[in-house]
Copies of this chain bind each other. A is one copy, B any other.
Amino acid sequence: MKGNIVVGQSGGPTAVINSSVAGVYAAAKKLGVKKIYGMVHGIEGFLEDKMIDLAEYLDDETGIELLKRTPSAFLGSCRFKMPKIEGHEEVYEKIFEIMEKHDIECLFYAGGNDSMDTVKMLSDYAAAHNKPQRFMGVPKTIDNDLPVTDHCPGYGSAAKYIATSLKEIIRDNSSFGAKKPTICIVEIMGRNAGWLTAAAALAKGDDCEGCDAIYLPEKVFDIDQFVADVKDLAERKSSVVIAVSEGVKVADGRYVCEIGREVAVDAFGHKQMSGTAVMLAEKIAAETGLKTRAIEFSTLQRAATHLASLTDINEAFQVGHDAVMAAEEGKTGMMITLDRNGEDPYQCGTSAYDIHAIANVERKVPDEWITADGKGLTEGYEKYARPLIMGELRPLFVNGTPRHLVRK
């Protein structure tokens, strides 16, 4: 690589998205790239020429290690939707102009579906206009809903947080030996795909009875059946803990959290979810008189780097690293995928895959991994997901809390 490179982060943060920046940096440094820039707040900031020189932060190994342990987007993120090329050429020209100005040969963009669309549009524009610049996607999303790749960096750590926190909540909820159980309903992120909620299945083990029911958005949610299910559990158990996706929908297509109230919409037209557990807990309390508790894992499930999966951190690093290596080979308009090539022991490699087959495609939990009653996950899911939460990277604790790397 003769020119410089730039890396950006986009969309909702994850616990390990910064490891991918570390991976990009490490590979580029190895290749002797002169300037390794970081976009401040993704393409949105890049359009205003906002960049930092990553060497300022990462030129010693402590910087890299701290970056791996820092949650959220170190570079700053954005939710900027690239306009379609036709009629908006000036946006694209601006980006190429800034790239030329800084002698940037390759642009690396870490994100989920929407961000891969940005990579696609930019590489399409380059192809159509004979531009030499290259564009590579680095997968990142706790939602685990990108196609082609076996799984997405960010998912394993979110799954580990969910499984660990649920084990702790199940212990807590079962501490009282009341005649009537407390019904604890835990709301987990995932607008359309149930991958994160599925991770609730990983709480179960020799030392934990697991959740009593897990409701994914892949199945139609029947509120009356839900109330009946809970009543039945309450008859038999002294503690009931239920995991439910924020994205569960009733038969007429409405989200459960939409019932009886208005829901805000973001720049991509996505509804701002929240309140599913509260709504269901109030429903159960009203219909059964049982004590209920609603818990939302909220942003902590994507930000709890103190509990990140080492497997996930390493893979996030790897996809960043390998995106640079693929670009070095001249590739563009592709995303790095994770390819599982061994089960016992678990092994995973990477490939580069055409971004057109990836952008805007959403992968859901396959039907064969959801139990017949629609309230749990099969062993197939367990076999798929368990390796992704394995291992830990101990935080560097300073004054009692994990130390992070932050931009000046």
Does A397 make an interface contact (CB < 8 A)? yes
| Known contacts A171-B72, A175-B76, A401 near B164 by CB under 8 Å | yes
Does A13 make an interface contact (CB < 8 A)? yes
| Residue in chain B with minimal CB distance to A44 | B177
Q: Are B406 and A208 in contact (CB under 8 A)?
A: yes
| Known contacts A169-B300, A402-B164, A176 near B76 by CB under 8 Å | yes
Does A398 make an interface contact (CB < 8 A)? yes
Of A174, A274, A299, A400, which is in contact with the most chain B CB atoms at under 10 Å from its CB?
A400
Does A202 make an interface contact (CB < 8 A)? yes
Does A331 make an interface contact (CB < 8 A)? no
Does A35 make an interface contact (CB < 8 A)? no
| Known contacts A72-B171, A78-B176, A306-B307, A400 near B394 by CB under 8 Å | no
| Residue in chain B with minimal CB distance to A402 | B164
Does A257 make an interface contact (CB < 8 A)? no
Does A40 make an interface contact (CB < 8 A)? yes
Q: Which residues of B contact A350 (CB under 8 A)?
A: none
Report Cα–Cα, A207/B391, bound state, in Å: 26
Does A374 make an interface contact (CB < 8 A)? no
Does A167 make an interface contact (CB < 8 A)? yes
| Residue in chain B with minimal CB distance to A389 | B400
Report Cα–Cα, A67/B389, bound state, in Å: 23
| Known contacts A76-B177, A78-B177, A309 near B171 by CB under 8 Å | no
Does A296 make an interface contact (CB < 8 A)? yes
Residue total for A at the interface (Cβ-Cβ under 8 A):
70
Q: Are B167 and A401 in contact (CB under 8 A)?
A: yes
Q: Which residues of B contact A72 (CB under 8 A)?
A: 168, 171-172, 174-175
| Known contacts A71-B168, A295-B296, A304-B168, A400 near B173 by CB under 8 Å | no
Q: Are B403 and A40 in contact (CB under 8 A)?
A: no
Q: Are A295 and B293 in contact (CB under 8 A)?
A: no
Q: Are A403 and B172 in contact (CB under 8 A)?
A: no
Does A126 make an interface contact (CB < 8 A)? no
One digit per residue, 1 when the CB lies within 8 angstroms of any chain B CB and 0 when it does not, for chain A 182-213 equals: 00100000000000000000110111100000
Does A360 make an interface contact (CB < 8 A)? no
Q: Are A406 and B207 in contact (CB under 8 A)?
A: yes
Q: Are B40 and A177 in contact (CB under 8 A)?
A: yes
Q: Are A165 and B73 in contact (CB under 8 A)?
A: no
Q: Which residues of B contact A275 (CB under 8 A)?
A: 278
Report Cα–Cα, A44/B392, bound state, in Å: 40
Report Cα–Cα, A309/B399, bound state, in Å: 11
| Known contacts A72-B175, A176-B77, A300 near B406 by CB under 8 Å | no
Does A140 make an interface contact (CB < 8 A)? no
| Residue in chain B with minimal CB distance to A207 | B404
Does A364 make an interface contact (CB < 8 A)? no
Q: Which 5 A-B pairs have the closest CB atoms?
A: A389-B400, A41-B177, A72-B171, A168-B303, A172-B303
**Can you give 6 A-B contacts (C-beta < 8 A)?**
A45-B177, A168-B300, A184-B299, A207-B398, A207-B406, A295-B296
| 8 more CB-based (< 8 A) A-B contacts, given A77-B177, A168-B303 | A76-B175, A78-B177, A79-B176, A163-B400, A169-B299, A205-B398, A293-B299, A295-B299
